[in-house]
Amino acid sequence: MLLELFLLLCLIGIFKFVISWLVSPQVLKLDGKHVLITGGSSGIGKAMAKEAIRRGAVVSIMARNITKLEAAKVDLEKVAGNNFKPVCIVSVDVAGDYEEVQKAVQKTEDKQGPVNMLINCAGIGVAKTFEDLKIDEFKKLMNLNYFGSVQTTKAVISKMKEQGGGRIVFISSQAGQLGLFGYTGYAASKFALRGLAESLQMEVRPYNIYVTVAHPPDTETPGFEEEERNKPEETKLISGTSGLFKPEAVAKQILQDSVNGRFCSYIGLDGWMLANITCGMSPVHSMCDAIQQVLTVSVFRLISFFYLCHFTRIVRKCKAKRDKEQKEKME
């Protein structure tokens, strides 16, 4: 009995030691730090810019449309109140020419100093069946959602290493954790970010740089409204299980997770389950997270069968409904 207790204590000790060695990020104080946000003129990116300003950061935003950028600048500068710091705006296509992206990043650094936190939020959601998605749409999704993030990250990483630390955030999606109806192009582009982020994290950890991949559910943004217009019924119903969130709540969570140096950022109950079930071999943030993952993976896998059953039924029902409608039309 005593020996068993001793062995158990030893095991806990070793576990604790391993985890503490795996990660020990310090919380990054955003006050006075330069936060650069791609896609910062709308939706989640704009909400993140607001949250960063509230925390005292110096903010730059990049997007293509200059009118939207200027309008966002006015809105964002109101948030700061007495603590006014001008927001730097730069118009650039993050999925375009790499030299242009480099120049754009340089412009923000000339004004606001070296980037302490990069948030890759420029992206687009397109929901269509595999058959309906055009090859050009597949390419556009990968080009913007994946390569866009590669380009801006590449443009900041060397200086961030030299500075001795920082944060990189990739905005993926819950559709970057599981594939679902309508997202053959979109989910692939978001899954790609995870491979990039895991590999990059291993490379840059010795430089005190922490990478975060955020997996938001449906969020009420202009981009989401646009995506909803011709979204298949199946995608709407399946995504709907995770609910619809406010950009402010999503942004707050992601920023908090990034300053804490967490690899995975999620929100909501489904988000929590998905984060645990898809943890794979991603970096672990704390003892608490490690225990949660070890204990919940198999239970959540079991629960996932019920979700999958539910999704299969949705797909079958929608097909039956469509077949019936088509038959009625023919008659």
Ligand X SMILES: NC(=O)C1=CN([C@@H]2O[C@H](COP(=O)(O)OP(=O)(O)OC[C@H]3O[C@@H](n4cnc5c(N)ncnc54)[C@H](OP(=O)(O)O)[C@@H]3O)[C@@H](O)[C@H]2O)C=CC1
Ligand Y SMILES: CCCCCCCCCCCCCCCC(=O)[C@@H](N)CO
42, 50, 183, 186: which is the annotated catalytic residue?
186
Q: With binding defined as CB under 6 A, does residue 153 bind ligand X?
A: no
By CB under 6 A, name the one of 58, 175, 192, 196 that touches ligand Y.
Answer: 175
59 touching ligand X, by CB under 6 A: no
Handedness of CA 185, 191, 195, 197 (dihedral sign): positive
Q: Which does 274 bind (CB under 5 to 8 A by kind): ligand X, ligand Y, none?
A: ligand Y
Q: Which is nearer to ligand X, 121 or 204 (CB)?
A: 121
Pick between residue 207 and residue 272 the one whose CB is nearest to ligand X. Answer: 272
| 25/194 with CB nearer ligand X | 194
Residue 41 binding result from ligand Y, ligand X, none, given CB thresholds of 5 to 8 Å by partner type: ligand X
239 binds ligand Y (CB under 6 A): yes
| 190 has catalytic annotation | yes
Would you call 172 a catalytic residue per the annotation? yes
Q: Is 93 in the site for ligand X (CB under 6 A)?
A: yes
According to the binding rule CB under 6 A, does residue 68 interact with ligand X?
yes
**45 touches ligand Y by CB under 6 A:** no
What are the angstrom distances between the C-alpha of 103 and each of 59, 90, 106, 116?
Answer: 17, 10, 5, 17
- CA distance linking residue 2 with residue 246, whole number of Å: 53
With binding defined as CB under 6 A, does residue 121 bind ligand X?
yes
- CB under 6 A: which stretch of 72-80, 154-162, 168-176, 254-262 binds ligand Y? 168-176
Catalytic machinery residues: 172, 186, 190
